[in-house]
Amino acid sequence: MNNSSWQHRELICLILYALVFYVIIIRRSLHLSHDHYRTLYGLRPGWIGGWYNDVSDAQWRNFRANLPILTVVFGIFTMVANMMRAFYHLKAKGMSFVWLLISLAYLLYLHGACIIFVLSIAVVNFLLVKIFGKKKYFPFVLWGFNIAVLICNRVFEGYRFSSIGQHWAYLDNFRVTLRQISFGYDYHWACCSSRMDQKKHIQSCRKCSSGQTCYLLLQERNLQNNNFSFAVYLCYLAYAPLYIAGPVLSFNAFASQLDTPQKNYSLREVAWYGLRWVFSLLLMELMTHLFYYNAFAISGLWKQLSPMDIFIIGYGVLNFMWLKFSLIWRYFRFWSLINGIEAPENMPKCINNCYNLNTFWKSWHASFNKWLVRYMYIPLGGSQRKLLNVWVIFTFVAIWHDLEWKLLSWAWLTCVFFVPEMIVESAATSFQAPSAFGEFVFRELSALAGAITITCLMVANLVGYVIGPSGMNWLISQFLRKEGLPTLGGMFLTFYVGTKLMFHIRDAKQRKD
């Protein structure tokens, strides 16, 4: 039997296993939701088939409730901005003023008088960049100021007017730390570093040679000094479509597209992108009406369930989180695309198609990953200090999300799992299978490693976002006792099968390319 025939039969078996797995998961999830809905928090009367709707997640609940007003507001903003660009033939400077006025009005509506704090921090950061931007020690100044702002923001729960009087306590602030650091570094490199050979890149890059513009070229493009003006800087910080929860965009990439709007997406492709988003929203509505995964996590009721049901809830929560963030990020990216600014796509791959930590983080918050690589990983030494850099970077990611032990535990757990993977991956790249049998053994070992990684990834995310560090010992004890061992074995087998399926998907894409 040749290798191709064996892989074809293996694929059929894997697909059959996956179908049975999802039938079991869906059936048991429906029973759990039906049996426990009376005791779950965060359920509201729904609009599908008389079922309740799980709106227990505050972030999703707020986004869903404000979706109509956001759509109207961004529709008006888009019409005004594009009309001004078309009628007055505005370029970077002109469009920066247009979006600055629109975005400041937006910020004033969101924050009210607290916009003073946002602008004050932005002004101080701009002055530091302009004064120290050409100095070798500038990165220490930039990071020192923004980390201090970030920590103060966490310690004092934002920069509130409640310190002046309790009747001002409803006012809050929004952090723009990542954009401030991006502006500072891009200005520093424009002044001190050598420029990328753009012609050579265009010749070697498949996307750029086809007439489009890749993100690397956008963020490495040589900008003139007038692009680093206060107006463009403030426009970048407050750019309305990406301000609340859009993908992270470097300053260079943003300023480049102010002058020349993105051409990678045609109007038809943008419309199709929006339609796909609507389909995803309907899928989310169906999911939250039928499966109350997040409500189980919020209510703490999952602690009373069997190990099998705990696995189902944990797996369901991760899929809910993936779909939630995908909808939120792509909604704001859609409006940015209409206005001529292309931001990196977050979550380009499904959560169920990632079998190692490296791929997972490149595919989850992909735009943030690009930011971390450009402004942290490379300045810290890149691959030469990879094992050390991962600890610094994930600690920063935890602090940026929120200054609490639960997220720090998530970050350090991820690093604990990440370091062995990097060591094994480094050894695997130098391994050459001497025969077909050696290749088969290597593939099986890789699948086992993928199953272990997915298990570790689930544990890290459950600790960080659901049970906290105090619940980790309890979770482990549930699966290591006699009743939990069969579930643990079945879970590991499922992840092994899932990893093998991902290998087939990867191979199919490689053959297509």
42: left (phi over 0), alpha (psi -120 to 50) or beta: left
> What value, to the nearest 5°, has the Cα angle with vertex 124 and ends 116 and 127?
135
Model's pTM, two decimal places?
0.89
Give the mean model confidence (pLDDT) for residues 6-29: 92
Q: 227: which 2 tokens?
A: 């692009």
pLDDT tens digits for range 116-159: 888 899 999 999 999 999 999 999 999 999 998 888 777 766 55
Give the pLDDT confidence score for residue 141 in this predicted structure.
96
The DSSP string of 133-167 is TTSTTHHHHHHHHHHHHHHHHHHTTS--GGGT-GG
What is d(CA 329, CA 273) in angstroms, rounded to the nearest whole number? 13
The DSSP string of 345-388 is PS--S-GGG--SHHHHHHHSSHHHHHHHIIIIITTTTGGGGHHH
Instruction: Tell me the pLDDT band of 494, cut-offs 50, 70 and 90.
Output: very high
What is d(CA 325, CA 110) in angstroms, rounded to the nearest whole number? 21
Among 203, 215, 501, 224, CA closest to 371? 215
CA-atom Rg of the chain in angstroms: 25
pLDDT at 163 over 60: no
> Angle 307-338/485-512 helices, nearest 10 degrees?
30
Give the pLDDT confidence score for residue 138 in this predicted structure.
95
Contacts of 396 (CB under 8 A, 6+ apart): 372, 376
3-class SS of residue 52:
strand
Q: 398: which 2 tokens?
A: 């935890």
Alpha-carbon distance values, 173 to 150, 154, 305, 490 (Å): 11, 11, 40, 47
Instruction: Tell me the pLDDT band of 161, cut-offs 50, 70 and 90.
Output: very low
pLDDT > 90 fraction of the chain, expressed in percent and rounded: 40
Q: Where are the domains of the chain?
A: 5-57+275-512, 90-260
> Angle 251-259/177-192 helices, nearest 10 degrees?
80
What is d(CA 463, CA 404) in angstroms, rounded to the nearest whole number? 12
Q: 467: which 2 tokens?
A: 């049970």
- Are 314 and 294 spatial neighbours (Cβ–Cβ below 8 Å)? no
pLDDT at 461 over 80: no
Q: 179: which 2 tokens?
A: 């954009």
Which residue shows structure tokens 């469009």? 95
Which residue shows structure tokens 């053959």? 511
Beta bridge partners of 44: 53
Q: Positive or negative CA dihedral for 348, 351, 354, 358?
A: positive
- The total of other beta-carbon atoms located within 10 Å of residue 131's CB is 11
Among 189, 159, 194, 331, CA closest to 252? 189
Residue 164 vs residue 355, higher pLDDT: 355
Residue 219 vs residue 132, higher pLDDT: 132
Among 176, 169, 196, CA closest to 114? 169
Residue 508 vs residue 138, higher pLDDT: 138
What is d(CA 333, CA 274) in angstroms, rounded to the nearest whole number? 10
What is d(CA 508, CA 487) in angstroms, rounded to the nearest whole number? 31
> What value, to the nearest 5°, has the Cα angle with vertex 458 and ends 43 and 245?
60
- Are 244 and 175 spatial neighbours (Cβ–Cβ below 8 Å)? no
pLDDT tens digits for range 238-274: 999 998 888 999 999 999 898 788 889 999 999 999 9
Instruction: Tell me the pLDDT band of 333, cut-offs 50, 70 and 90.
Output: very high
Q: 93: which 2 tokens?
A: 């400077």
Alpha-carbon distance values, 489 to 142, 413, 486 (Å): 49, 22, 5
Residue 172 vs residue 372, higher pLDDT: 372
Beta bridge partners of 45: 52
Give the chain's mean pLDDT: 85
